[in-house]
Amino acid sequence: MIEGPRPVRPNEYRSLLKLVNRTFIGSPGERGMESLYPWHLSSENRRNLWVTVENGKVVSHVGVSKRALAVDGVRIPLGLMSAVATDPAYRGAGLASRIIEVLRSRHDREGLDLYFISGDRGLYRRIGAVPVGRRLHFVLTPAALGLFAHPDVSFRPAGPRDLAAIAALHAREPVRILRPVADFRRVFRAGWAVLSPARFFVAEAGGRVTAYFVAGVTRKAGGPQSGRLVVVEHAGSRTDLLAALHAACLAWGKRRVELTVSPHERESLALLSGRHLGERHVPVYDAIAILNLERLIRRLRPVLAKRAGPAGRRLEGGEFNFKPFLALGASRVAVPREVMTRLIFGEPTRDRPPGVRADGALGRVLRAGFPIPLANPGISYV
C-alpha cells in the first residue's frame, strides 16, 4: 500500500538515503548526499524530508530546508526545495507532484512565502515556479584582477576559528539567505558546496578578516581546481575580495576566476562593470515559486516604501479566480502566476521586468518598487 505524503519516519531514513544517493550520486562508495549537504539531508532535518512509501520502501522524496531571504531589513521566510527524486519504477504516476502540492499548502499555512527550487521543470512549473532574478557572471583573468592587487591584502584558507567572522560578514550583506551560524560550520566540515568539493578562504587587511570567498577545489589534492577558480559565495569588502582573488590566482597559477554577482551588489558592479572584464548575463536554471502573494507583498511594504515612496506601503497583493493581482486603491493589475513572479523578482536576462500595463500611482509603485533583489543561495544550494 502506498503511504504519504508525510515526513520520513526514523526507520525509513536509510531507505530515503538509498533513493536520493542512487538518483544523484550513482556509484556506491562515493560520499552520500547526507554527508555533502548535511543541513538538508541529515536526520536533523528529517521532519522536512517528505516521502511516499510503499511497504516500508521510500519511493518518492521532496526535501525542504527552511531558511529566509533578507532584503534590506525585511525577512521573508522561504523553503529551499531540493533532492527531489522518485524511484524509476514509480515515475510518471504523479507521486512527486502530489508531495509538492501537499507541501505547498502546508508551508503556506506555516508562513513560508517562497520556494527556492533547485531545478526548473514541469513538476515545479505546475505550482507557478519560474526562473527569475538577474545574475551577472564575470570571467576574470589574473591580468584583469591585477587592477585590484594590493600589497596590504593577503588571503589564506579559513580555519574553524574564522567561521564566526565569516558569518558576521555574511550577516552584513543587505540581501542574503538568513541561515544559522551552524550552517557555515556544516559546510566547512562537509568540504562541499553547490555541486563540488569546496573550501572557505579569507581576505585579510591590517590583520583583520575583511572578506571571504568559498571556492571549488579538486577532489583529490584538496587544492583549487586546475585552470579556473569558481567562487560559489563571497561577502565583505569587495575591493579586498578582488585583491585576494588576484593573490589566489598568482599563488595557485589560475588562468581565470569565475565570479557571479547579483545586480544589488553595488560595490562589485562599480568595480567590475563596463571594464570589459568578461561580463555576461547567465541563464538561471533554478526556479522560484510564490506561496502566498498577499503575505509576501505585506512583508515587502517597507522595501517598497523605501523605493517607491509612501504609496509603496499601500500596495496589496492577492488572488482572485486563481489569478494573482496587485492593487493600489481602486487600480489593479491581474496577470498569470509566472508573469507575476517575473514582475516581482525580475527577468534573468533583462534589465526591465515584463511589461505590465498599469497607470498612475500603481504604475509608479510597480516601476520603482520592483524587481526585488534575490540572494544567490551560495553555500545553501543543494
Name the site residues for ligand COA (rule: CB under 6 A): 23, 60, 84-86, 91-97, 118-119, 121-123
Identify the CA nearest to 130 among candidates 346, 341, 325: 341
- Residue number, 101 or 319, with CB nearest to ligand COA: 101
Cβ of residue 38: shortest distance to ligand COA, in angstroms?
Answer: 19
- Residue number, 6 or 255, with CB nearest to ligand COA: 6
Cβ of residue 80: shortest distance to ligand COA, in angstroms?
Answer: 13
Cβ of residue 123: shortest distance to ligand COA, in angstroms?
Answer: 4
In single-letter form, the type of residue at position 56 comes to G
- Residue number, 85 or 379, with CB nearest to ligand COA: 85
Cβ of residue 282: shortest distance to ligand COA, in angstroms?
Answer: 18
- Residue number, 93 or 149, with CB nearest to ligand COA: 93
Query: Phi and psi of 5, rounded to 5°?
Result: -70, 140
Other CB atoms closer than 10 Å to residue 211's CB: what's the count? 25
Q: Confirm if 195 and 220 have CB atoms less than 8 A apart.
A: no
Cβ of residue 85: shortest distance to ligand COA, in angstroms?
Answer: 4
Cβ of residue 33: shortest distance to ligand COA, in angstroms?
Answer: 12
Radius of gyration of the chain (CA): 22
Identify the CA nearest to 244 among candidates 279, 196, 271, 205: 205
Strand partners, 6: 51
As a whole number of angstroms, the distance between CA 183 and CA 327 comes to 38
Could you identify the residue written with the cell 519560474?
Answer: 130
Strand partners, 258: 139, 230
Cell of 228: 579556473
- Residue number, 60 or 260, with CB nearest to ligand COA: 60
Cβ of residue 26: shortest distance to ligand COA, in angstroms?
Answer: 11
Q: Confirm if 304 and 136 have CB atoms less than 8 A apart.
A: no
- Residue number, 95 or 249, with CB nearest to ligand COA: 95
Cβ of residue 8: shortest distance to ligand COA, in angstroms?
Answer: 16
Q: How crowded is the C-beta side of 81, counted as CA atoms within 13 Å? A: 32
Q: Confirm if 61 and 83 have CB atoms less than 8 A apart.
A: yes
Cβ of residue 260: shortest distance to ligand COA, in angstroms?
Answer: 20
- Residue number, 58 or 235, with CB nearest to ligand COA: 58
- Residue number, 21 or 118, with CB nearest to ligand COA: 118
Q: What are all long-range contacts of 163-169, with beta carbons under 8 Å and residues at least 24 apart?
A: 163/188, 163/200, 165/202, 165/209, 165/212, 166/200, 166/202, 166/209, 166/212, 166/235, 169/209, 169/210, 169/211, 169/212, 169/235, 169/236
* Burial readout 35-70 (b: 16 or more C-beta within 10 A, e: otherwise): bbbbbbbbeebbebbbbbbbeeebbbbbbbbebbbb
- Residue number, 254 or 337, with CB nearest to ligand COA: 337
Cβ of residue 127: shortest distance to ligand COA, in angstroms?
Answer: 11
Nearest residue to ligand COA, by Cβ distance, number only? 122
Cell of 120: 526548473
- Residue number, 119 or 309, with CB nearest to ligand COA: 119
